[in-house]
Structure 1
Amino acid sequence: MLQGKKFSKWLSDKRVVMIAVIIGTVAVLLIGLSSFIDYSGGEKDNSEKYAAKTEAHLLEIISHINGVGEAKIFLTMDNSGENVYLKNTDTKTKSIEPKVRGVVVVCDGGDDPLVVSRVLDAVTKSLNISSDKVCITK
């Protein structure tokens, strides 16, 4: 019973109540602000940069194939890549690039079966993906 009186006396102190209200308000504000912060921005940027770089390399390769003409490429990525922590090595981490989910190639020579075969071969071998993940059209 003595502790109950001490607690009620402690709560009757205006400074203690004011400090508790301030701490509670700050906690609620921090929780509310955390919903506005984007935690995945860096990963998304890395995936988009990798896709753009890969598209540029593929476009350079494909544009040199005879009969392709003007070409455009679109890549879809499966994930944003990974950082793997290594043990017993000099380097601490190893980056694994995002995996390519699919490729669309639109080119002037997309109606010629020989050009389609050459472009398909170049894309599948350079990205190490299966041919069912590649669409080539005019």
Structure 2
Amino acid sequence: MDSKLLPLVNKIKSLKHKERYIVIACVLGVALILLSELVPSGSTKKADDGMDYQEYIVSLEEKTQDIISSIDGVGKCKVMITLCETDESFYASNIEENTDSGHISKKNEYVFYEDNNNDSPVLIKQTFPKVMGVAVVCQGGDNAFVKERVISAVSSLFGISSAKISVSKISR
């Protein structure tokens, strides 16, 4: 064993039972912290890792189509969803205000984090637009009972009025 470590090991051996465990736990804790710096972390989320606008629409349409096609009498269906505006992202920023001799000046800077040697802004929140209207074309679209259930389901899913939902029979 290294001559520099031998006195330290002997000192640890001379400690009482509980104290020895505390020292060992501290050493393991420091070792884990050092190891965590070496292992790349997948938990940091880049601003552009979120779902984009087109993926959002496609996902909504697919999920809605799956739900509607499982309603009795609907059969095969297609769904198109229109949205209000586009998505919106909110980033963290530092705001500095100076009031000097009656003049107010503001300085606004985005907060960045380093990820793989790139600076990325810190995304606080990303909102997607609300559903404006839904068109459903299905095999059972000419049946009034089926039409009512589809309109009810879509209205419940997106919180929109029945006037913004169109249900039609699929053409052959």
Shift of 1:84: 3.2
Shift of 1:85: 4.7
The one-character-per-residue Cα deviations of 1:31-67 (angstroms, maximum 9, x if unpaired) are xxxxxxxxxxx8xx82211110000000110011000
Q: Which of 45, 50, 53 is matched with 2:59 structurally?
A: 53
Inter-partner Cα distance in structure 2 for 1:86 and 1:121: 40
Match in the other structure for 1:95: 126
Counterpart secondary structure, 2:52: helix
Q: Which of 137, 144, 150 is matched with 1:119 structurally?
A: 150
| More helix per residue | 1
Give the count of matched residue pairs.
Answer: 92
Inter-partner Cα distance in structure 1 for 2:127 and 2:161: 19
TM-score relative to the length of structure 2: 0.49
2:95 equivalent to 1:64:
no
Deviation beyond 4 Å, 4+ runs, structure 1: none
Q: Where does structure 2 lack aligned partners over 5 or more consecutive residues?
A: 1-47, 94-121
Specify whether residues 131 and 97 from structure 1 end up closer, same or farther in structure 2 by C-alpha distance, changes over 3 A only. Answer: same
Inter-partner Cα distance in structure 2 for 1:107 and 1:120: 12
The letter for the 2-side match of 1:64 is S
The percent identity for this pair of structures is 38
| More strand per residue | 2
TM-score relative to the length of structure 1: 0.60
CA RMSD of aligned residues (A): 2.2
